[in-house]
Chain A
């Protein structure tokens, strides 16, 4: 499938509208994975389609909503006439103050709970990672979702790295954390993974030589197996 065919037959639009037969769909996907222009076009189209669903859906639930620009003008006018003092009116100030009190209360509670957590000895679930094993199985840690756990990284004994770099990626593919640790001569590193509402998905380990050359030491998908705690 060449780019001219894609453009002349509106492949991107047909793809986004789910109109392509499976074989043609697969062919088009193989094309746009290699064609930057079509990739950008398909991606933009997909973003447009998905955002449109969201916006049109919101409008559907508010049938009397006026177009955004008109609504802004309508709302802005009374506030503009009343000036900044309008924010101190009871109808606005009271809910805002209540919200602030709720936020302050929650943060105080959360801080006390956090302080208790970090100052109290705990037994953590943990797992061992043999860093010198290529393509290893996912790291399985038996721990309730949202709880902290530890990882012991057994370092390759026969390699001379001056430091190690650890990258932790989330389920969403975002880099959550990155740290470089100097090699101390110990054959292992211990990593504490704090509690989070997003389970980490993959740990990347790099060895860095004294010359600054980075060597990939493996990718370790992390699978949390919820325990009955």
Chain B
């Protein structure tokens, strides 16, 4: 995917309807919005609704020339998403959750739409990273990510601390990225 920078020219191309710019915008922010929402909303449909509404409002703001700081386009999209999310909670009949309650919202139980963006190749690379891990670390990831056990409890059982968990995830993620970039000159998600 072609390199873009969020600047006045990018915004103008968006406004003019340039197809490649719009595709970049859609792919880039669809992925980020999904990462943001997956820990807050229960269903895939709700995530899609909020994402769709965020994009719709952005394009309205774009048409009305309300994008004042192109270099902070990401923050603008994020703030729109936050507003849509708050309204979503109200419209769904839920009380506005306090922040600590939002923290406790379980992640979406449905198959993750991020897999929409991934491919068999991506799965193979993740599998490769997991195969390289010692069995103990695989079990640790299984307990935390799949079983979703309490992290402090898991750390006690495994005789580790939270920092070990973070370092494990950091290394695995780094290896995954390096495996992916080694074999792809245009990853499915390209930063600006």
Contact = CB atoms under 8 A, between A and B. Distances in A.
A60 B148 CA distance: 14
B35 A221 contact: no
Given A43-B35, A49-B145, 13 more contacts: A10-B167, A19-B151, A21-B103, A33-B32, A33-B77, A40-B190, A44-B173, A46-B114, A55-B126, A202-B52, A214-B17, A216-B17, A216-B63
Closest 8 CB pairs of A and B: A36-B191, A22-B99, A33-B74, A51-B126, A34-B74, A33-B78, A40-B191, A13-B166
A176 interface: no
Interface string A49-92: 11111111101100000011100000000000000000000000
Contact of A22 (B28, B32, B103, B117): B103
B129 interface: yes
B63 A134 contact: yes
28 contacts: A13-B169, A25-B103, A29-B36, A34-B72, A37-B191, A39-B192, A40-B189, A40-B190, A41-B173, A42-B35, A44-B189, A45-B169, A47-B176, A48-B129, A48-B176, A51-B115, A51-B127, A52-B146, A52-B172, A55-B123, A60-B142, A134-B63, A135-B60, A171-B48, A172-B116, A201-B48, A215-B17, A216-B63
A206 to B, nearest CB: 6
Nearest to B38: A46
Interface string B166-192: 110110110011001000000001111
Q: How large is the interface on B (under 10, 10 to 19, 20 to 34, 35 or more residues)?
A: 35 or more
Interface of B: 6, 15-17, 23, 26, 28-32, 34-36, 38-39, 48, 51-52, 55-56, 59-60, 63, 72-75, 77-79, 82, 99-100, 102-103, 107, 112-118, 122-123, 126-127, 129-131, 138, 141-142, 144-146, 151, 162, 165-167, 169-170, 172-173, 176-177, 180, 189-192
Nearest to A175: B23
Q: Which of B79, B82, B138, B191 has the most CB of A within 10 A?
A: B191
A32 interface: yes
Contacts of A47: 114, 117-118, 122, 126, 176, 189
Interface of A: 10, 12-14, 16-19, 21-23, 25-26, 29-30, 32-37, 39-57, 59-60, 67-69, 134-135, 171-173, 175, 201-202, 206, 213-216, 219, 221
B137 to A, nearest CB: 11
Contacts of A52: 126, 130, 141, 145-146, 172
B115 A54 contact: yes
A22 B100 contact: yes
Nearest to A57: B146
B85 to A, nearest CB: 11
Nearest to A44: B177
Contacts of B30: 173
Given A22-B103, A54-B123, A56-B141, A44 B35 contact: no
Contacts of B17: 206, 214-216
A44 B56 contact: no
B78 A36 contact: no
A68 B116 contact: no
Contacts of B112: 50
Given A40-B191, A42-B35, A16 B169 contact: yes
Nearest to B27: A173
A22 B101 CA distance: 10
B151 A17 contact: yes
B52 A201 contact: yes
B162 A19 contact: yes
Nearest to A45: B173
Which of B100, B102, B177 counts the most A-chain CB atoms under 10 A from its CB?
Answer: B177
Counting chain B CB atoms within 10 Å of each CB, the highest count among A41, A46, A52, A215 belongs to: A52
